[in-house]
Structure 1
Amino acid sequence: MEFKVNCGIWGAMFGVPSIVADNFLKLASGEQLKVLLYLLRSSGKVCTSEEISANTGVSVQTAEDAVLFWQQANVITPQGSISPVVSAAPIMVQPLTPQSAATSEQPQNIPVIQNVQTSVSAPDHKTNLSGGEIADIMKDSQDIRELFKIAETIIGTLKNSQMNSIIWMYDHLGLKKEVIIILLSYCASIEKTNTAYVEKIASVWAENDINTMEAAQDEIQKRKDSRDYILSIMKKFEMNRKPTAKQAEFIEQWKNSGFNIELVHYAYEKTIEQINKLSFDYINKILLSWRDSGFTTVNDVKNAEITFRKNKKSTAAKSGETDTDMEEYESIINQFLY
């Protein structure tokens, strides 16, 4: 089904940062998006938490948490020297413009997001901080307090292990607040918020210096593209279980090589015709041979088949043969298999 926006019935309009549509439609909750739309519509106007709540239908606390989320995600910035959101306090925000997002210079009086050392030394990966130690860190670090608060809006009430994990990512790995928020939001969107999974991705990001909003969003988009590609392959191959590690390697190789889903599916069909079973190795040989022959689409392969049939038919007519040697045909078309 196709949809078309009726621009003629629009009244006054306001802008929504592209970053929201590109990266947060899945990562942010519906309530967070409602609050953002209201704030964008009210740009330049002083709003209270109660006003946001009344106009969006979310609770006052949820409104405050949502404002904090969008601030830490660098989508909106506090106006002037206003302190973090508190109940009943006026809120005045402005969207983060592309120019301000691209520059490393922060406007005056706007808080700079940076890692702040606490009185407790940064924990090692295996360190398990006690509740008292975590409380001490929270007391000394506003960043950690805000991270915990936002994390709870994303993944729910935090366990001790999750608090330890967030502190470790922030203090030990040195990931910025907004990057940790993006990571947690992504993990929540794919329903994988267990500590081990989150920390595994965080470690990779730290090792590869993925520590800015732009870099984190690019990495998440790559992960989404890879996930969508795998799901499409599974559907085309009629797979009812996740690919094995070896199968996943083949799929990643096909994606990186630029093989489109339709071409991979056609190779799958050829494989079933030939050996009557799913074989990733067999499919891979077909794809590599097609690539070596310059075939990049299903039409390329089908045109080659048609050309062969015509040539074979012409040759058979000249020699007086009446039947096409299908075995020879299969041998030539699928020469990559031998």
Structure 2
Amino acid sequence: MQFTVNSALWRQVFAVPAEITDRHIRMCSGVALKCLLLLLRDPDVFGDPKAIADRLGQPVSEISDALSYWLETGVLSSSGPDGQAIPSQPPRPASEPPPAVPVPAPPRSAVSAPPAVRPHFPREEAVSIVDSDKTLSGLLQELQSMMGKLFTSADLDALIALYSFYALTPHYIITVVSYCISIGRSSMAYAEKVAASWIGEGIDDEGVDRHLDTLAQRRSNEGRVRSAFGISDRSLTPREREYIATWFDTYQFDLSLIEYAYEITVERTGKLAFGYLNKILASWYQNGIRTIEEAKQESKPSSAAGAKPSGTGSELNRKILEQFMKD
């Protein structure tokens, strides 16, 4: 199937430089392309970011970022207070390929802590880096497809940092971005923070899939606990999430035992108190209690004559409550 422009539209036209379609259309963002079209259509009306932002219904910050791309590439120039044009980089001919910019990429067999200060990559430099590396170029296309958007200058900066500064493999980067999308944080800036955190935890390329599975299981466990505790009107706090991870990952308790501890907590404190509930489960773990039956037996006071106090039973329950009240 072929497409042609409706001939009636040719009654009123304006020119678009071939440079735009020959070189930039693949790498510029959708917002950047819209900004340029408005400027080409009527530079007197759309000569400043505010006018363009009003027409496109976008924040001025987004428009400024888009216009920065065209300034950096030499397509646009800005005027000073006296109306004189401020020189910008001259545009390269459409046939001239972008210069190859070497990407410092150390061996990717292991993930190590990067230097303290990471570089930032302006749009023009970022585009050149992507164009000079087929792997990075393919990775960009994959991530844009996953996130359903064209990358901004900030997105490209974060991507190149992950690839060259943090020396992460495409597999690692895709895994991090997949995780961010799954939790509703579809942002390359957030992906960089997550990746830096995982690197700090010593998670390398071989272990990143296992870590992702662990995080998925933790989210599932958190959902089960929220349902069991009737938490539907708020998110869990970081401390509460830490508690839940400990109950399942470290203590290896099943949900039924956690629910029983929840019932005891509400009965004794009159509310859901994660701190008190955690103390109950911690005491059970320390005393080798793994089932509801053992927990019920532990709650019974010792009645044997001459029995030596063991710190369990009702005495232990009393200590837990006293400690909780102090805290």
TM-score (norm 2): 0.55
Q: Please say if residues 125 and 168 of structure 1, whose CA atoms lie closer than 8 Å, have aligned partners that are also in contact.
A: no
User: C-alpha separation between the residues in 2 aligned to 1:186 and 1:281?
Assistant: 29
User: C-alpha separation between the residues in 1 aligned to 2:199 and 2:298?
Assistant: 48
Per the alignment, residue 197 of structure 1 pairs with 190
User: Do the aligned partners of residues 162 and 124 (structure 1) sit closer, same or farther apart at CA in structure 2, a change above 3 Å counting?
Assistant: farther
Alignment of 1:277 onto 2:265: no
Deviation at 1:275, TM superposition (A): 1.4
Per the alignment, residue 102 of structure 2 pairs with 119
User: Do the aligned partners of residues 196 and 260 (structure 1) sit closer, same or farther apart at CA in structure 2, a change above 3 Å counting?
Assistant: farther
User: C-alpha separation between the residues in 1 aligned to 2:314 and 2:293?
Assistant: 19
Tell me the alpha carbon deviations over residues 126-165 of structure 1, each in whole angstroms, 9 at most, x when there is no partner. Answer: 6442221112102211111011011012112222222111
User: C-alpha separation between the residues in 2 aligned to 1:209 and 1:272?
Assistant: 39
TM-score (norm 1): 0.53
Per the alignment, residue 172 of structure 1 pairs with 165
The percent identity for this pair of structures is 27
Deviation at 1:220, TM superposition (A): 0.2
RMSD: 3.0
Q: Please say if residues 147 and 177 of structure 1, whose CA atoms lie closer than 8 Å, have aligned partners that are also in contact.
A: yes
Deviation at 1:176, TM superposition (A): 0.6
Q: Please say if residues 286 and 336 of structure 1, whose CA atoms lie closer than 8 Å, have aligned partners that are also in contact.
A: no
Alignment counterpart, residue 155 of structure 1, candidates 139, 147, 151: 147
Per the alignment, residue 14 of structure 1 pairs with none
Per the alignment, residue 184 of structure 1 pairs with 177
Per the alignment, residue 285 of structure 2 pairs with 291
Q: Which AA in structure 2 matches 1:288? A: A
User: C-alpha separation between the residues in 1 aligned to 2:197 and 2:239?
Assistant: 21
Deviation at 1:286, TM superposition (A): 1.3
Q: Which AA in structure 2 matches 1:274? A: R
Alignment counterpart, residue 216 of structure 2, candidates 220, 224, 232: 224
**SS of equivalent residue, structure 2 residue 167:** coil
Deviation at 1:118, TM superposition (A): 4.7
User: Do the aligned partners of residues 229 and 260 (structure 1) sit closer, same or farther apart at CA in structure 2, a change above 3 Å counting?
Assistant: same
Per the alignment, residue 98 of structure 1 pairs with none
Deviation at 1:125, TM superposition (A): 6.1
Q: Which AA in structure 2 matches 1:143? A: T
Per the alignment, residue 240 of structure 2 pairs with 247
Deviation at 1:207, TM superposition (A): 3.3
Deviation at 1:291, TM superposition (A): 2.3
Alignment of 1:234 onto 2:226: yes
Q: Please say if residues 155 and 188 of structure 1, whose CA atoms lie closer than 8 Å, have aligned partners that are also in contact.
A: yes
Q: How many residues align?
A: 203
Where do 1:1-338 residues align within 5 Å?
Answer: 118-119=101-102, 127-157=119-149, 158-212=151-205, 214-239=206-231, 240-255=233-248, 256-304=250-298, 308=300, 331=314, 334-337=317-320, 338=322
Unaligned runs of 5+ in 2: 1-99, 106-114, 306-312, 323-327
